[in-house]
Amino acid sequence: MARGNALRRDADQKDRAKSLDSHEGRAPEAGALELDRLIHERVRLGIVSSLAVNGSLTFTDLRDLLGITDGNLSAHAKRLEEAGYVVCRKSHDGRAPKTEFSLTTVGRTELEGYLDHMESIIEATRDQVGS
């Protein structure tokens, strides 16, 4: 009986993976549950989400909004900038340096794909829990 239950569970898992594979919002080469690791990290998701909503934010505003340290923001913003998801503009406001971040077109597209993928996972999970 235990073997029959295990086989049934394996079949159910394959069906769930197929239903996730059929959903949009992720790179075709990614596995059904594979997320964009660059965006999925909590602080980086906060950065791209904040920039998507606000357009652009100064370093100080973004740091305070996310409640993180200067070093933490710098490290995560650098990763996003290297990937082409955000752009960093440095200027001066009088004598004070000003750093401003904004989301690139690539960053916005990747965030939308990430959100679509998350919604697909949630939808597939709800379908399985409800059945």
Predicted pLDDT of residue 61: 97
Radius of gyration of the chain (CA): 20
3-class DSSP state of 98: strand
Q: Which residue has the higher pLDDT, 57 or 131?
A: 57
| The predicted structure's pLDDT at residue 35 | 80
pLDDT attached to residue 31: 56
Q: Which residues have CB under 8 Å from 29's CB, separation 6+?
A: none
Domains observed in the chain? 36-130 (1.10.10.10)
The pair of three-digit structure tokens given for residue 14, joined into one six-digit string? 């394959």
β-bridge mates for residue 101, sequence order: 57, 88
Helix (H, G, I), strand (E, B) or coil at 26: coil
Confidence of residue 131 (pLDDT cuts 50, 70, 90): low
Residue 28 CA to residue 18 CA, distance in Å, equals: 13
Contact 21, 32 (CB under 8 A): yes
pTM of the model: 0.73
Residue 98 has pLDDT above 60, yes or no: yes
**The token pair that represents 57 in the structure block:** 């934010």
